[in-house]
């Protein structure tokens, strides 16, 4: 009986700590997957560069245990006009 109870508790904690919640932001398409132990953010937000050109900042950020282990954000992608 105790072994079954421990397995059930372990499954519940694993579900709470590892299963993500998906969030959408209204900044151009950023999506964030968040769990307690990890998170992934796929950035896609509208912005201007230093010359005043319209475009998007894109990139990915990966977080494990509150530390950013990978980030290639921001990469500016200009909007092509007249295509």
Question: Residue 48: what pLDDT?
Answer: 83
The residue that leads in pLDDT, 77 or 63, is 63
Q: Who contacts 76 (Cβ-Cβ below 8 Å, separation ≥6)?
A: 47, 49, 55, 56, 57
Q: Who contacts 63 (Cβ-Cβ below 8 Å, separation ≥6)?
A: 38, 39, 40, 41, 69
Q: Which long-range contacts (CB under 8 A, 24 or more apart) does 23-26 make?
A: none
Whether the predicted pLDDT of 83 surpasses 60: no
pLDDT in tens, 18-74: 999 999 998 889 999 999 999 999 999 988 877 888 888 999 999 999 899 999 998
Mean pLDDT of 3-31: 93
- pTM for this predicted structure: 0.79
């Amino acid at each position: 009986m105790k072994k079954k109870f421990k397995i059930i508790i372990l499954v519940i904690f694993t579900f709470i700590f590892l299963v993500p919640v998906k969030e959408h932001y209204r900044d151009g398409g950023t999506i964030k997957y968040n769990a307690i132990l990890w998170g992934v953010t796929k950035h896609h937000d509208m912005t201007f560069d230093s010359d005043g050109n319209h475009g998007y900042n894109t990139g990915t950020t990966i977080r494990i245990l509150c530390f950013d282990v990978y980030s290639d954000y921001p990469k500016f992608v200009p909007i092509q006009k007249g295509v």
